[in-house]
Amino acid sequence: MHLLEGEGVTRHFGGLAAVSDVDFYVDQGEILGLIGPNGAGKTTLFNLISAALKPKPGKITFNGRDITPLPAYQICRLGIARTFQTVKIFPHVPVVRNVMVGALFGTGRRTSSAEARKKAEEALEFVDMLTLKNTVAGDLTLAQQKRLEVARALASDPKLLLLDELMAGLTKPEVTEALGDIAELRSRGITIIMIEHVMQAIMAASDRIIVLDYGKKIAEGTPAEVAANPKVIEVYLGEECDA
Amino acid sequence: MLVVFVVLALLPQYNHGYTVTLLTDILRYAILTLAWMIFSGPTNYMSLATAAFYGIGFYIAAIANGPVPFAVAIIIAGLVSFVVALLVGALTLRLRGVYFCIFTFALTLLIQNVVLEVERVVTHTRGRFVEAETTEVAYYAMFIVAIFTIAMAVLIRRSRYGLALQSIGEHEEAAAHSGINVVRTKVLVFAASAMPMAMAGAIIATQRTYIDPGIAFSLQSSFLPVLMALFGGMSNLVGPIIGAAVFTYIGELLLTEFPDLYMLIFGVVLILAILFMPNGIVGLAQTVWTKIRGSRRSAAEGGRRAPA
């Protein structure tokens, strides 16, 4: 049984098929990369998995359980946490309390306030932001806000983590650091699906890659297989060569 | 804080009549403003349904006070209001921003008209009489409900619900994806905050003897708490209480001293307040305080630097 599995997942916006009949799965402990040109439907797929949107039609199962009808907060409590392409933090709340939200409400267990604070501090330690814990989140740099989202997601004890363009806008050393963090998360037993435009990074980090284009899955395989796929080169990698 | 409580508790022993009535009025608005702010403050969902719950209190008092003891009538008012607010919340809280605001306002008018029609058809009357209570009894009842409201505000603010509400206000989507049951949290807190509103209504009703839907559901009760909260400052719980007190007192003063110019002067004061005190009286006090402290410190430092 796969940890997460989607069958015929589809979502239209008006006449536009944002995600069209996509089958996918991810196994426990795996790192799955999701790539494709802008507007290919990558973030929409994340929104469908995390129940920001409902697939119409389509079915998503997690640990064998049909999670399609569940609301977003229950998806989180079951163990699917996410970050956002455009950061969504609580700007007037101190960093540590931002993360405590995940620990207090996202784990599916009743967590005491002291326990939640401890957990939040551990998560902040992981993203190297413990020294900033009393800063108001809106005062952080964009890169820090992204790491804050990771910490908030981690505090909810996820089994599966959805990372949406974590590395966009990071410098080379920061990308290297982020790759190290992802490897560390995997060693903790967390499964990851990541959307990324930084090619070297996603090729290096992923076990398997799914390529989307105009809402359809056009390729799937190991990074090497995907990189050699003529269709992928044409719609996606080729574009970069032309540019 | 404690001193204020003790003074307020003992006051009717030494002072009768007008002062007690004025204080009852101030406490009423403090309750409405604080209760309004329990929900609307952190979530930024501006509710204009206060008058609906306040008016329900009037009608519960009219029906229940007499048949049951006054205290029981007040508690029933709170409970009925809680249930109605659950329904209103479930209907309205799927809307956001200005749509929520307008819809709560419309629902208040709807409830007012439903009561009007029911009275016309069932009891064939326009209004009702309310079993009166003395000024002192009303004052003490209001005082106790005020303490109840403050306790509720403090407890919710300090509990996990406080953080949940603030998260919802700052980014509702992120809150939902972080595991907060956004709908349930909003509806429950909205309903809880409606209880003191109806309790205050039930007490004030006993000071009116005659009520009708126009009096009970007067839209002032929806707008004034919002203005008082703005006036006092919404950054903490003292703000709305001070806002309600100053606002009510100024209103009373203007009404007695300049009855013809009351609304005009009141309007000007309000506009000035919003223009020059964006964070309310409490915000202004904090700014002034930091400035005084700052200038003292720099004066002290200047003094130290001078001999060197």
Instruction: Quick: pLDDT tens for B117-158.
Output: 998 898 888 888 888 888 889 999 999 999 999 999 999 999
Q: For B211, phi and psi rounded to 5 degrees?
A: -130, 155
Question: Do B174 and A88 touch, CB atoms closer than 8 A?
Answer: yes
For residue A33, which amino acid is it?
G
Token output for B132: 């009166």
Q: What is the pLDDT of residues B147-205, one digit of tens each?
A: 999 999 999 999 999 999 999 999 999 999 999 999 999 999 999 999 999 999 999 99
CATH number at B2-276: 1.10.3470
- Taking contacts as CB-CB distances below 8 angstroms, the residues of chain B near A156 are 178-179
Q: Tell which residue, B61, B19, B37, B80, has the closest CA to residue B224.
A: B37
**Once rounded to an integer, what is the mean pLDDT over residues A174-200?**
90
Q: Give the Cα separation of B226 and B248 in Å (integer).
A: 13
Nearest residue in A to B165, CA atom: A101
Q: Give the Cα separation of B32 and B223 in Å (integer).
A: 10
Pairwise CB contact (< 8 Å): B180 & A73: yes
Q: pTM higher than 0.90, yes or no?
A: no
Pairwise CB contact (< 8 Å): B171 & A104: no
Question: Is A8 within a domain?
Answer: yes
Interface contact A123, partner B, CB < 8 A: no
Token output for B278: 């964006």
Domain count, chain A: 1
> CA angle, A156 as apex, A67 and A22 as ends, to 5°?
35
In this predicted structure, what is the pLDDT of residue A81? 95
Poorest-confidence range of A35-39, A152-156, A183-187, B276-280?
B276-280
Q: Which residues pair with A221 in a beta bridge?
A: A209
To the nearest whole percent, how much of chain B has pLDDT over 90? Answer: 51
Interface contact B166, partner A, CB < 8 A: yes
End-to-end CA distance of chain A: 42
Note the maximum CA span of chain B. Answer: 88
Pairwise CB contact (< 8 Å): B164 & A101: yes
Interface contact A33, partner B, CB < 8 A: no
- Taking contacts as CB-CB distances below 8 angstroms, the residues of chain B near A72 are 176-177
Out of A73, A84, A88, closest to residue B179 by CB: A73
Out of B163, B171, B173, closest to residue A100 by CB: B163
Q: How confident is the model at residue B16 (pLDDT cuts 50, 70, 90)?
A: low
Structural domain of residue A56, as residue ranges?
Answer: 1-70+192-243
- Taking contacts as CB-CB distances below 8 angstroms, the residues of chain B near A82 are 177
Token output for A61: 């199962």
Question: Is A204 within a domain?
Answer: yes
User: Looking at the predicted structure, is the pLDDT value of residue A142 above 50?
Assistant: yes
Q: Tell which residue, B275, B212, B167, has the closest CA to residue B59.
A: B212
- Taking contacts as CB-CB distances below 8 angstroms, the residues of chain A near B167 are 90, 93, 101
Q: Give the Cα separation of B118 and B135 in Å (integer).
A: 31
**CATH number of the domain bearing residue A55:** 3.40.50.300
A114's CB contacts (< 8 A; 6+ apart) are none
3-state helix, strand, coil in chain A (%, to 5): 40, 25, 35
Q: How confident is the model at residue A237 (pLDDT cuts 50, 70, 90)?
A: low
Nearest residue in B to A110, CA atom: B160
Q: For A57, phi and psi rounded to 5 degrees?
A: -90, -170
Q: What is the pLDDT of residues B241-260, one digit of tens each?
A: 988 998 888 888 888 888 78
Pairwise CB contact (< 8 Å): A82 & B180: no
For residue A43, which amino acid is it?
T
**Cα torsion through A47, A51, A56, A57, rounded to 10:** 100
To the nearest whole percent, how much of chain B has pLDDT over 70? Answer: 94
Q: Which residues pair with A33 in a beta bridge?
A: A194, A209
Interface contact A221, partner B, CB < 8 A: no
Pairwise CB contact (< 8 Å): B182 & A84: no
Interface contact B94, partner A, CB < 8 A: no
Q: How confident is the model at residue B293 (pLDDT cuts 50, 70, 90)?
A: confident
**Is the Cα dihedral A188, A191, A197, A202 positive or negative?**
positive
Nearest residue in B to A80, CA atom: B177
Please give, rounded to a whole number of angstroms, the shortest distance from the CA of B174 to a CA of chain A. 6
Q: Give the Cα separation of B137 and B199 in Å (integer).
A: 14
In this predicted structure, what is the pLDDT of residue A240? 52
Pairwise CB contact (< 8 Å): A104 & B166: no
Question: Is A100 within a domain?
Answer: no
B253's CB contacts (< 8 A; 6+ apart) are none
A157's CB contacts (< 8 A; 6+ apart) are A79, A106, A107, A108
Q: Give the Cα separation of A232 and B27 in Å (integer).
A: 70
Out of B170, B177, B179, closest to residue A90 by CB: B170
Q: Tell which residue, A41, A121, A44, has the closest CA to residue A82.
A: A44
Question: Is A94 within a domain?
Answer: no
- Taking contacts as CB-CB distances below 8 angstroms, the residues of chain B near A105 are 160, 164, 178-181
Question: Is A123 within a domain?
Answer: no
Where do the structural domains in chain B lie, given as residue ranges?
2-276, 277-308
Question: Is A99 within a domain?
Answer: no
Tell me what the pLDDT averaged over chain A comes to: 90
B3-62 residues touching A, CB cutoff 8 A: none
